[in-house]
Amino acid sequence: MQRRNTSQRKIIYDILKSTDVHPTADWIYEKVRKYIPNISLGTVYRNLKVLKEEGYILEISDGKQSRFDARTDDHLHFKCDLCNNVYDIEPSDINLQLDTSSLEKKGFKVCRYDIEFYGICRKCNKEREVEKDN
Amino acid sequence: MQRRNTSQRKIIYDILKSTDVHPTADWIYEKVRKYIPNISLGTVYRNLKVLKEEGYILEISDGKQSRFDARTDDHLHFKCDLCNNVYDIEPSDINLQLDTSSLEKKGFKVCRYDIEFYGICRKCNKEREVEKDN
DNA sequence: GTATATGCAAACAATTTGCACGCCT
DNA sequence: AGGCGTGCAAATTGTTTGCATATAC
């Protein structure tokens, strides 16, 4: 399909590129409205789908919601159990060795795997320290 | 809260224990209806939530749907890209070494991580072989 | 000019919830 | 008897879609 460059799509992509909070469609919608007040949520969803199809962004599922990420290079995610924020993790920050040959022998062709980390982020950790001090 | 043993909850749990397909709430609902024809979907959801809170089952999210698993011991999941079935993977079938100390140094307390495998399952692999032969 | 994109609202799918009644304990 | 659980239906949430109009190319 022949794609057009619309201001809606451009602004949606710019906003997503400018943040690292891995926002939901609704978060993006509210931001875009500051530039295009009468944009519709449907347009946001449609453009996120297009940007994903074209490989500009990634969709990461968070329970029943979707979040979006303009970082498409190799990296991982850490989700805080307390504040629910999602943080980017550099591949260099973890040391991972994984051997799936035993799975392959059993007939499963492993094409990819996703690892997601959960725990307590730096910010929430610090806030807990403060509480302890009191 | 003081919980009661209802036939609905018992049958839902029994059905979930008897399968390894990691079913959705709707799949379970259809099965339970064979035993309790006028059970409501809401009751299925409510009991799945209770069973999860009590630690009898796990909820695994699959895009915008939830799937449920009566296996609560340590194991992993493999999702087939072709048939979308979810398979149990034994921890002994993968060799994993993971060092997150660098993350901890940066202030993230890693409590757990999820690994999910994607690819083509044994059954779909076999079907492809057959096609190649033709 | 023409096909793609938009805004709007309605439709959808998965899940949750309010309510009156039912049935464990 | 008292309160948790149920069935039913309506409500909610996140997302998609049909349609008439607008706009990029």
Q: What residues in B contact A115, CB-CB < 8 Å? A: 113-115
Question: What are the tens digits of pLDDT across the range B23-61?
Answer: 999 999 999 999 999 999 999 999 999 999 999 999 999
Asked if B117 and A103 touch (Cβ cutoff 8 Å), the reply is yes
Cross-strand bridge partners of residue B59: B68
- Cα three-residue angle A117-A122-A125, rounded to 5 degrees: 105
Among chain A residues, the shortest Cα distance to B129 is held by A107
- Quote the mean pLDDT of chain A: 94
> How many angstroms is C1' of D20 away from CA of A83?
43
User: Quick one: which residue's CA is nearest to C7's C1'?
Assistant: A40
Partner-chain contact A114 B116, CB within 8 Å: yes
Q: What residues in A contact B105, CB-CB < 8 Å? A: none
Domain boundaries for CATH 3.30.1490.190 within chain A:
73-134
Asked if A79 and B66 touch (Cβ cutoff 8 Å), the reply is no
What is the predicted pLDDT for the residue at B131?
73
Tallying the residues shown for chain B, one arrives at: 134
pTM assigned to the model: 0.91
Residue B80, phi-psi category: left (phi > 0), alpha (psi -120 to 50), beta (remainder): beta
Q: What residues in A contact B107, CB-CB < 8 Å? A: 121-122, 125-126
Q: What pLDDT band is residue B13 in, cutting at 50, 70 and 90?
A: very high
Closest approach of B119 to chain A, Cα-based (Å)? 5
For residue B134, pLDDT beyond 70: no
How far apart, in whole angstroms, are the C-alpha atoms of residue B35 and residue B86?
A: 26
The stretch B6-14 carries a mean pLDDT of 98
The class level of CATH for A73-134 reads alpha beta
Question: What are the tens digits of pLDDT across the range A7-59?
Answer: 999 999 999 999 999 999 999 999 999 999 999 999 999 999 999 999 999 99
How far apart, in whole angstroms, are the C-alpha atoms of residue A42 and residue A64?
A: 18
B7 touches strand C (CB under 7 A): yes
> How many angstroms is C1' of C8 away from CA of A4?
22
CA distances from A56 to A5, A7, A74 (A): 14, 16, 13
Burial of A32 (0-12, 13-18, 19+ CB in 10 A): buried
What is the predicted pLDDT for the residue at B130?
79
What is the predicted pLDDT for the residue at A127?
85
Q: Which long-range contacts (CB under 8 A, 24 or more apart) does B99-107 make?
A: B99/A94, B99/A95, B99/A96, B100/A93, B100/A94, B100/A117, B102/A92, B102/A93, B102/A94, B102/A95, B103/A78, B103/A89, B103/A93, B103/A94, B103/A117, B106/A93, B106/A122, B107/A121, B107/A122, B107/A125, B107/A126
Cross-strand bridge partners of residue B66: B61
CATH for B1-71 is 1.10.10.10
Domain boundaries for CATH 1.10.10.10 within chain B:
1-71
Q: Which helix (H) or strand (E) holds A80?
A: strand A76-80
What is the predicted pLDDT for the residue at A1?
79
> How many angstroms is C1' of C24 away from CA of B10?
14
Closest approach of B18 to chain A, Cα-based (Å)? 23
Which among A102, A111, A116 has the least Cβ separation from residue B119?
A111
Closest approach of A31 to chain B, Cα-based (Å)? 24
Question: What are the tens digits of pLDDT across the range A99-131?
Answer: 999 999 999 999 999 999 999 999 999 887 777
What is the predicted pLDDT for the residue at A73?
97
Residue A98, phi-psi category: left (phi > 0), alpha (psi -120 to 50), beta (remainder): beta
